[in-house]
């Protein structure tokens, strides 16, 4: 087993007195796809958001490719990084949201090009070329000039995936990427995600799509009340769950 690219240790987070993450330990190896399951409120989103510092954890650490996220050791003390420094760290992590969050005043192409232009400092033509290649990959090259509101939900989410890929992040986080979609549009998004998984992207995917977890995940994690209650291969967790809470969750999800 190769060294993990993401190392999460004893991660804790509370919101106004309520413990939402109660000591999460999780290592993700390069190329691995981890599906995160769990009931509403079990802390799945919070876990993803702590990885790229959209939330600051209270304790524990997230180490990405050897670098601690959000803090650094400084003369025996732990010091929080500035927002500018955290921004630089976040470029290693791509994130796809349930509600797409494309920038509505920019076309699909501009949404994707901006990172390569401003961060990777590519020329306009090179950034454009890169963005078009990414759009091609998600099957939307011909919609490059469309504004987000002119696209269907599934198309918007595919553009959002292309945007997240544009900075060539080391890990991709998906927070219920298909939950806001009409059932007939779910497939076009999970297809893109499956092909990413097959091409060796490292992904953490919070999802209620058990089919996707079974088909694309290397590992399935079940979260309950702020801890990882159970994990294993898709068939270990989905077919032969040991914990009653997991079994109950799966039964409810399948209904």
Ligand X SMILES: Nc1ncnc2c1ncn2[C@@H]1O[C@H](COP(=O)(O)OP(=O)(O)OP(=O)(O)O)[C@@H](O)[C@H]1O
By a kind-dependent CB cut-off of 5 to 8 A, residue 137 interacts, out of other proteins, ligand X, Mg ion, none, with none
Q: 24, 34, 38, 45: which one contacts Mg ion (CB under 5 A)? A: 45
- Helices then strands (H, E): number in the chain? 9, 12
207 lines the binding site for Mg ion (CB under 5 A): no
Q: 3, 10, 25, 41: which one contacts ligand X (CB under 6 A)? A: 41
106 lines the binding site for other proteins (CB under 8 A): yes
3-class DSSP string for the chain: CCCCCEEEEEEEEEECCEEEEEEEEEEECCCCEEEEEECCCCCHHHHHHHHCCCCCCCEEEEEECCEECCEEEECCEEEECCHHHHHHHHCCEEEECCCCCCCCCCCHHHHHHHHHHHCCCCCHHHHHHHHHHHHHHCCCHHHCCCCHHHCCHHHHHHHHHHHHHCCCCCEEEEECCCCCCCHHHHHHHHHHHHHHHHCCCCEEEECCCHHHHHHHCCEEEEEECCEEEEEECHHHHHCCCCCHHHHHHHHHHHC
33 lines the binding site for ligand X (CB under 6 A): no
Q: 6, 32, 43, 222: which one contacts ligand X (CB under 6 A)? A: 43
Report the phi/psi class of residue 207: left, alpha or beta, with left for phi > 0 and alpha for psi in -120 to 50. beta
Give the number of other Cβ atoms within 10 Å of residue 66's Cβ: 9
52 lines the binding site for ligand X (CB under 6 A): no
Residue 138 three-state SS: coil
Q: Which is nearer to other proteins, 116 or 234 (CB)?
A: 116
119 lines the binding site for other proteins (CB under 8 A): yes
The CB-of-130 to other proteins minimum distance in angstroms stands at 15
Q: Which is nearer to ligand X, 2 or 40 (CB)?
A: 40
Q: Which is nearer to ligand X, 17 or 244 (CB)?
A: 17
Q: Binding string to ligand X for residues 8 to 27, with x set by CB under 6 A, is what? A: -------x----x-------
148 lines the binding site for other proteins (CB under 8 A): yes
Stretch that binds ligand X, among 43-51, 72-80, 127-135, 214-222 (CB under 6 A): 43-51
The CB-of-46 to ligand X minimum distance in angstroms stands at 3
CA distance 88 to 86: 5
Q: Which is nearer to other proteins, 93 or 241 (CB)?
A: 93
- What residue ranges bind other proteins (CB under 8 A)? 52, 54, 83-84, 87-91, 93-95, 97, 99, 101-107, 114-115, 118-119, 147-149, 160, 163-164, 167
- What residue ranges bind ligand X (CB under 6 A)? 15, 20, 38, 40-46
- What residue ranges bind Mg ion (CB under 5 A)? 45
């Amino acid at each position: 087993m190769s060294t993990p690219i993401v190392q999460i240790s004893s991660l804790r987070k509370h919101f106004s007195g309520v413990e939402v993450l109660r000591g999460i330990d999780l290592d993700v190896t390069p190329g691995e796809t981890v599906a995160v399951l769990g009931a509403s409120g079990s802390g799945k989103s919070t876990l993803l958001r702590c990885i790229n510092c959209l939330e600051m954890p209270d304790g524990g650490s997230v180490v990405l490719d050897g670098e601690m996220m959000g803090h650094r050791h400084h003369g025996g003390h732990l010091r929080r990084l500035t927002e500018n420094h955290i921004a630089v760290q976040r470029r290693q992590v791509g994130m796809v949201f349930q509600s797409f969050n494309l920038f509505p005043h920019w076309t699909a192409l501009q949404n994707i090009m901006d990172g390569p232009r401003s961060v990777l400092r590519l020329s306009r033509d090179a950034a454009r070329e890169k963005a078009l290649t990414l759009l091609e990959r998600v099957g939307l090259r011909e919609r490059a000039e469309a504004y987000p509101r002119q696209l269907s939900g599934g198309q918007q989410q595919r553009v959002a995936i292309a945007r997240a890929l544009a900075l060539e992040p080391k890990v991709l986080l998906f927070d219920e990427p298909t939950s806001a979609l009409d059932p007939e549009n779910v497939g076009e998004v999970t297809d893109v995600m499956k092909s990413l998984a097959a091409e060796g992207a490292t992904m953490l995917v919070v999802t209620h799509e058990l089919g996707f977890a079974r088909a694309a995940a290397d590992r399935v994690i079940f979260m309950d009340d702020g801890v990882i209650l159970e994990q294993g291969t898709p068939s270990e967790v989905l077919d032969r769950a040991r914990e009653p809470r997991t079994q109950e969750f799966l039964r409810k999800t399948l209904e």
